[in-house]
Amino acid sequence: TNFYAKIDPENCTACGECMEICQMDALISVNNHTEVLRSHCIGCGNCLNVCATEAISLLKTGKETIPPKDSREMYKKMIMERYGVLGTLKIMGKAALGKKI
């Protein structure tokens, strides 16, 4: 997403509820308080919803990403990222000729 979790150490009681619900293991306990691993956080907000002290907020990341409009666009983007321009053209050529990809 375009967000990441931020924890206010003043309000955090280190209860661990957020760590339990985090599907990405992006929350860790350090010196009796909780910290967010930005490299793991996907900004889903699950931790935000279980925090009794409202110590967690979601902040915008520096760049905004727009998801593909449909599955066809998603697969095109994935192929481009994986194989580059020339690899994508090769795959599209095979598909146009009816060959197995």
Q: According to the per-residue pLDDT averaged within each range, which of 45-59, 67-81, 84-98 is highest?
A: 45-59
Where are the alpha helices (H) located in 10-70, listed in sequence order? 17-21, 46-50
Rounded distance between C-alpha atoms, residue 95 and residue 101, angstroms: 7
Long-range contacts of 24-32 (CB under 8 A, 24+ apart): none
**pLDDT value of position 65:** 83
Whether 101 has a pLDDT exceeding 80, the answer reads no
Domains plus CATH for the chain?
3-60 (3.30.70.20), 68-101 (no CATH)
pLDDT-based confidence at residue 32 (cuts at 50, 70, 90): confident
Average pLDDT, the chain: 92
Residue 37: both structure tokens together: 């691993």
**pLDDT value of position 37:** 97
Rounded distance between C-alpha atoms, residue 15 and residue 79, angstroms: 43
**pLDDT value of position 35:** 96
